[in-house]
Amino acid sequence: MNTNKRIIRVLVVIALLFLALASYLLWFNMFRAKEVYTNSYNRRQWESEQHIKRGSIYSSEGELLAETRISDDGTRTRRYPRGRLYSHVIGYSSQVYGKTLLEMSRDADLVGKGNIGISIGDNRPGNNLHLTVLDYLQEYAYDQLDGRHGAIVAMEPTTGQILAMVSLPDFDPNTIEDDWEGIMEDKSSPFLARATQGLYPPGSTYKIVTSAAVYENGRTTETFDDPGVFKQGDVEVNNYGGEAFGNIDIKTGFEKSSNYVFCTLGYEMGAESVRAEAEKFGVNKDLEFDIPTSKSEIQYGRMTDLDAALVSIGQGGLVMTPLHVAMMASAVANGGKMMKPYLVETVTTENGTIIGQTKPSVLYESVGPACASYVRDMMIGVVEEGTGTTARIDGITVAGKTGTAETEGGEDHAWFVGYAPAENPKICVAVLLENNGTPGGKTAAPIARNIMRRFLNE
């Protein structure tokens, strides 16, 4: 009898172990198999590509940006004709170091996964990617950074198309295997795609969102006696340069970028209202994009009203990517609707047949048209008579906002974000100069002006 009980117990244990194994395999296939298979270091991926000619990547104008060359002995070499220019958009594809950015996220398209077609010799062709990026504007934006650390994002506000996206420092994807050790040891982080993965305090550019909260809280007609410094509890924030503006309204406070006015508004509106407005613009939310992005967020477990004062001027626990700052202004330009950004316009077969096309879509209804119009008018004032006059373009109305963001232990970041024409927006540009130590209106705004003017005059 005891022997039978022991046998039953052993059988039960074996059955439970079998059930656990079956459950794990089911869970793995449902939730992890794709992740493991698509991991850029998975050697089986490379084995499966031995008889595939990886697809090419082109700019919006048809400029070749990436291609695979196959030698007579079958050796495959991935080449990037534009070198460093797209290193933080396309990334790289290396049998030694894996894949990144578009090469990784669009791998299935590039290898033609699921294609039913005829192989050419021993090689089946993959699909080609056609980007929204304008090659001439990408090169121009790159030159405008002039070697300075930072990022530039140019996008079409009404569709979400990325027109140019540059980050510096960068790297040459053609020599990635030879340069790997040096790049990894470089303290300036050349692999960091600052436009999409760098997180920075946005400084006064964020007063765009705070102004939307002001409108929605019915506080647009208030005036303030600005002494040049906001003091509350243990928080003390000076206006840039310690300037006191005296008796001013909110419009003037926005144009002059008064920290006193916007800290006061944020403190009085309170943490809940400030956080809610931030989330309407996508802060604290994951962003689905063609390449990996960091999450813009308010880094407080529990935000107090004093924290809200700092967030309202783009400081404190708030960090954002340059891409998100461009999206923030684009939402205002687009009547309050934030469009989902995208890089890949179409996917085509080798013979040019379109098999995939991105359609513009609304990501968030951030604010209503009346609120967007209110903020737009103040942004025009910044460029016409405020801190952003260096962004003016003759014959074109520009809307924008400067920012000078304080950092811990380093020089200030210089920011500008703006769009044009203000009446019928065609382009929005965000410029970040990392640890530049200058006001955004002095250095970042002229760069944005040049890019907008070049695009509109093309």
pLDDT above 80 for 173: yes
Query: Domain for residue 327, yes or no?
Result: yes
Average pLDDT over residues 205-215: 98
Residue 323 placed within a domain: yes
Average pLDDT over residues 280-307: 96
Question: How much is the average pLDDT of 247-266?
Answer: 98
Confidence at residue 34, expressed as pLDDT on a 0 to 100 scale? 47
How many domains, the chain? 1
pTM (whole model) above 0.85: yes
User: Is 70 exceeded by the pLDDT of residue 277?
Assistant: yes
Q: How confident is the model at residue 353 (pLDDT cuts 50, 70, 90)?
A: very high
User: Does the residue 340 lie in any domain?
Assistant: yes
| Beta-bridge partners for 152 | 166, 431
pLDDT at 28: 55
Contact 240, 263 (CB under 8 A): no
Assess if residue 441 is contained within a domain.
Answer: yes
Residues 416-453: tens digit of each pLDDT: 999 999 999 999 999 999 999 999 999 999 999 999 99
In a domain, 50, yes or no: no
In a domain, 394, yes or no: yes
Tokens 């030159």 map to which residue? 143
The answer, yes or no, to whether the previous bond of 169 is cis (omega within 30 of 0) is yes
Express each pLDDT in 101-124 by its tens digit: 999 999 999 999 865 554 445 678
Residue 14 pLDDT: 77
Of the listed ranges 69-78, 378-387, 444-453, the one predicted with least confidence: 69-78
Given this model, what pLDDT does residue 11 score? 74
Helix (H, G, I), strand (E, B) or coil at 130: strand
β-strand partners of 418: 400, 429
User: For residue 218, is pLDDT > 70?
Assistant: yes
At residue 400, does pLDDT exceed 90? yes
Q: What single DSSP character describes residue 233? A: T
Q: Which domain holds residue 224?
A: 196-344+359-457
Adjacency order of strands within the sheet including 354-357: 76-79, 64-70, 57-58, 128-131, 344-348, 354-357
Structure tokens at 331: 């939402």
CA distance 260 to 204: 12
Give percent of the chain with pLDDT exceeding 90.
Answer: 83
- pLDDT for position 43: 52
Whether residue 304 lies inside any domain: the answer is: yes
Q: What is the pLDDT confidence band of residue 321, given thresholds at 50, 70 and 90?
A: very high
Do residues 443 and 414 make contact, with C-beta atoms less than 8 angstroms apart? yes
Closest CA to 309 of 367, 208, 243, 232: 232
Greater pLDDT, 207 or 43: 207
- Average pLDDT over every residue of 256-279: 98
Q: Domain of 208: which CATH number? A: 3.40.710.10
Mean residue pLDDT of the chain comes to: 92
In a domain, 125, yes or no: no
For residue 48, the model assigns a pLDDT of: 60
The 10s digit of each residue's pLDDT in 28-46 is 555 554 454 445 555 555 5
Radius of gyration of the chain, Cα coordinates, nearest whole angstrom? 26
pLDDT for 330? 98
What are the backbone dihedrals phi and psi of residue 162, each rounded to the nearest 5 degrees, phi first?
-85, 120
Report the alpha-carbon distance of residue 457 to residue 260 in Å, rounded: 39
pLDDT band at 6 (very low <50, low <70, confident <90, very high): confident
